[in-house]
A and B are shown apart, each in its own frame.
Chain A
Amino acid sequence: MEGYIISKSNLYKDMLYVYSRKHGKIMMFPENCKDDRNISNILDHKFNEIYENRFISNVNNNMSLITIIVSNTCNMSCRYCYEENGTFGNEEKILSPEMAIKIVDFIVKKYDFIDTISFFGGEPLLAIDAIECICKAFKGKYEKKLINREPKYTIVTNGTILNSKVLQILKKYNIQVCVSVDGFKEIHNKYRVYRDNGVTYDDIYSNMVILNKYNLLKSIQCTYYKSYINNNISYIDIEKYYLKNFGLKKFIFNDIYVDFDYVENSIKNEKIDTLDKKQLEGNSLESRLRTFVNFGTIDMDLYTMLIRMIKMKDSKYVCGAALNEIAINLDGNIYPCRTFVSENYKGKYCMGNILMFDENKYNNICNDISRLNYRHDKCRYCNELNFCNRCLAISLLNAKHLNGKIKCETRNDEFNGEFYMILKDKINLTKLVERLITSN
């Protein structure tokens, strides 16, 4: 059947998995229907129905992610840092315990449900007292039955600060740690340095060993430079190294489109070189899918695409900024997401302050962001929607000429054409789906 890949499920009795290239979706249907002579037309019809009803509005009073900026200072001075050492251009400080408690009070009063709190900076572990206050305050709210459960906690840290107090709090509140580490030692040390330019990799590696011992290390976030391509190092080389040494399976790669070896301070000079990660076989879709099926390691971009493929419904919105996620800074200012906190936006998208909360102001920004984030109705017929994503904050900053409107640059069938050919000849659909749904 042209355009479809069908394979038998091992996990669900008498069921088949079916991938439709035209729709970019993977679903299940009963095995006994497969031999119907009209099955191709029936599947077309069924997948079209899903397309017609695919959009859901996920706007409610639940927050899937609240970022709390607990520190706007950092003990490192990465050469490429866009936050000006975490300060976002402001005075260096850490969140006070008093303000930490007020932030929790606000969150619990304002929202019906909070899934995850993410501690962010600067370097958030410089503010371990504030982090402890926040976790303790949520625990107190839970014990008083003001919330149904305590939120999950995550932290993205540079991994250089780990003492017995930090470790004790991370363990006590099960704060899941993502460490920013740029792949391998030599490249990492070139860009991620202390303020006195001292190298950091060995310190971070030792701390990762300790975090891993206590089952707190969940992923790494790696900036992927052109230097990696020049040195023939692919995503999967980095994944395999951290799988072997730490058992890690989740990887966040931030591609940086600048050749640091070529242009000093290139971001500030806005001299952008092209990063063609496809130059390396290990970065190809086929290699990434094969590595996932065989070893279980995956980058978050691909993971999210695959998850969306097996979801019947898609969000009407390109991202959740202001709708199901927000960020709160040290002064109690509320923003649509962590990226909007930057001074680059000159406060234009500040949704108010927790100390003098103005519901109208908050709702107005929500509405503005919703309008900018709303998918066009015709997008429901696009098979590339699963990975049609833009960072709204960055788009607004870069795209003054668009008058705030986000331009569609998606080419229909770009991903699914390649994905289909891989599933047809190279990778088994059942193995891929079942790796995905059992990955943890």
Chain B
Amino acid sequence: MSFQLQEIPLENCFAEPLGFCGFGCVGNSGPRPTD
């Protein structure tokens, strides 16, 4: 049977979490993250 897996559309979702710059990254004046 022929079909394609499809990506679930994300239009209504908040595109980028506020202040997000990746895991382990910190925001303002936070503690120094440990690795």
Q: Which residues of A contact B (CB under 8 A)?
A: 12, 15, 17-18, 26-30, 33, 36, 38-39, 42-43, 46-47, 50, 64-65, 67, 74, 76, 78, 80-83, 86, 115-116, 118, 120-124, 154, 156-158, 176, 178, 180, 218-219, 221, 223, 250, 252, 254, 256-258, 267, 272, 300-301, 303-304, 307, 310-312, 318-321, 325, 337-339, 387, 389-391, 393-395, 398-399, 433, 436-440
Q: Is the interface of A mostly helix, strand, loop or mixed?
A: mixed
21 contacts between A and B (CB under 8 A): A12-B8, A26-B8, A46-B3, A46-B5, A65-B20, A82-B30, A82-B31, A123-B28, A219-B18, A221-B19, A252-B19, A254-B31, A256-B31, A267-B32, A300-B20, A320-B21, A390-B23, A390-B35, A391-B33, A437-B9, A437-B10
**Chain A residues closer than 8 Å to B22, beta-carbon distance:** 318-321, 337, 389, 391
How many B residues face the partner with a CB closer than 8 A? 32
Contact A436 to B25, CB < 8 A, known contacts A156-B19, A219-B19: no
B28 touches A158 (CB 8 A): yes
Which residue, B20, B33, B35, has most C-beta atoms of chain A within 10 A? B20
Q: Which residues of B contact A (CB under 8 A)?
A: 1, 3-10, 12-14, 16-35
Number of A-B residue pairs, CB cutoff 8 Å, is 180
**Chain A residues closer than 8 Å to B23, beta-carbon distance:** 301, 304, 319, 387, 389-391
A391 touches B35 (CB 8 A): yes
B28 touches A157 (CB 8 A): yes
**Chain B residues closer than 8 Å to A219, beta-carbon distance:** 17-19
**Chain A residues closer than 8 Å to B24, beta-carbon distance:** 389-391, 394
